[in-house]
């Protein structure tokens, strides 16, 4: 039997949103899927060395993950996901990611794989996945079957995560909403240490990114009817849906994120009923500085609630 084609997934950026969809689609079609290891200091250092200084921390981390996969798989998947319609757009970095990465690694000999999802140009996710299937010689019927199976797996995973999070609201402990992109919250080097510190301080972290994307984007209009970025809309929606159930909000961003810097300002001006901590991770912060700020924030909440 021929060795299956191996698809590499960089464990960064949209990996956290689409990992189930991607795994399931390719595995249904008989591919082997590998992922880069969780982010470490080295991942960031290697990515930063490949990026321009102005690139956001998430992009630097992404390039570090791509580097880790070079030569280890047949193709590295880097989709171009532009928008889900007007005013449901992605940060422009996601439009450029495929071309940018291919250019950075142009001398590596590595093959990259992409698809183009751009609803404003009437290019749906479904059509993009059919294109991927056809690229590898599958019929539309086979690609469609794999896509449907993958979408069901994705929905199951989203529902399971939402259900798990619902259980956290029952806790009597202080609950803090972490308003951030999934690839910031879930990243082993920048987001996870914050989550673990909160847990270790007897606080329940609630992830703003665990939300039905459509519901979130609709609810987000209450805080900003004109926000054009889909993921930020979802985060705003999560704040609307969670503000009565949580004791504070941490705005966790990757330096220097354009969309977050604007939307976090909106949140700070429009959410007056909860304490808010703005934490911008630049990859340089040793954990001590971050931990001190988290400790003070938790104390402020405890003091406000008469628990200190």
Minimal distance, residue 254 CB to ligand SF4, in Å: 4
109: number of CA atoms within 13 Å, CB side?
3
Sign of CA dihedral 21, 25, 30, 34: negative
Is position 17 an interface residue for ligand SF4 (rule: CB under 6 A)? no
Q: Please, what is the minimum distance in Å from the beta carbon of residue 259 to ligand SF4? A: 5
By the rule CB under 6 A, 181 interacts with ligand SF4: yes
191 binds ligand SF4 (CB under 6 A): no
DSSP string, 254-265: ETT-HHHHHHHH
Q: Does 249 bind ligand SF4 (CB under 6 A)?
A: no
3-class DSSP state of 278: strand
Our CB check for ligand SF4 shows the closer of 67 and 181 to be 181
Report the candidate in 37, 28, 238 with the shortest Cα–Cα distance to residue 153. 28
Stretch that binds ligand SF4, among 56-64, 142-150, 185-193, 220-228 (CB under 6 A): 56-64
Element (H, E) at 207: strand 203-207
The reply to whether 85 sits near ligand SF4 by the rule CB under 6 A is no
Told to check if 39 binds ligand SF4 by CB under 6 A, we report no
Using rule CB under 6 A, residue 234 touches ligand SF4: no
Give the ranges where the chain is alpha helix by DSSP (H): 15-28, 41-50, 57-69, 93-104, 125-135, 140-168, 182-185, 192-200, 213-219, 230-242, 258-270, 287-304
Q: Which stretch binds ligand SF4 (CB under 6 A): 29-37, 52-60, 64-72, 236-244?
A: 52-60
Give residues 193-232 in contact with ligand SF4 (rule: CB under 6 A).
Answer: none
- The single residue among 30, 85, 258, 289 that binds ligand SF4, judged by CB under 6 A, is 258
Tokens of 194: 């914050």
The window from 28-36, 54-62, 66-74, 193-201 that contacts ligand SF4 (CB under 6 A) reads 54-62
Among residues 24, 36, 39, 58, which is the contact residue for ligand SF4, using CB under 6 A?
Answer: 58
Distance CA 123, CA 121 (A): 6
């Amino acid at each position: 039997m021929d060795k299956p084609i191996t698809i590499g997934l960089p464990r960064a950026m949209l990996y956290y949103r689409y990992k189930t969809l991607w795994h399931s689609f390719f595995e249904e079609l008989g591919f082997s899927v590998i992922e880069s290891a969780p982010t470490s200091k080295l991942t960031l250092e290697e990515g930063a060395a490949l990026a321009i200084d102005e690139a956001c921390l998430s992009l630097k981390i992404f390039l570090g993950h791509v580097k880790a996969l070079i030569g280890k798989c047949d193709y590295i998947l880097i989709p171009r996901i532009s928008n889900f319609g007007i005013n449901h757009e992605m940060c422009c970095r996601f439009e450029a990611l495929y071309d940018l990465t291919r250019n950075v690694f142009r001398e590596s000999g590595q093959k990259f794989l992409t698809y183009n999802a751009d609803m404003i140009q009437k290019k749906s996710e479904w059509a993009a996945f059919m294109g991927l299937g056809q690229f590898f010689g599958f019929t539309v019927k086979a690609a469609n079957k794999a896509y449907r199976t993958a979408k069901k797996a994705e929905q199951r995973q989203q529902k399971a995560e939402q259900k798990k999070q619902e259980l956290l609201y029952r806790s009597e402990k202080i609950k803090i909403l972490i308003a951030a992109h999934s690839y910031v919250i879930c990243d082993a080097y920048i987001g996870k240490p914050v989550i673990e510190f909160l847990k270790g301080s007897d606080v329940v972290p609630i992830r703003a990114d665990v939300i039905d994307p459509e519901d979130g984007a609709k609810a987000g209009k209450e805080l900003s009817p004109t926000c054009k970025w889909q993921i930020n809309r979802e985060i705003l929606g999560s704040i609307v849906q969670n503000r009565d159930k949580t004791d504070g909000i941490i705005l966790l961003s990757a330096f220097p994120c354009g969309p977050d810097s604007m939307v976090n300002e909106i949140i700070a001006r429009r959410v007056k009923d909860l304490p808010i901590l703005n934490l911008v991770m630049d990859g340089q912060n040793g954990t001590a500085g971050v931990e001190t700020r988290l400790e003070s924030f938790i104390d402020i909440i405890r003091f406000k609630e008469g628990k200190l």
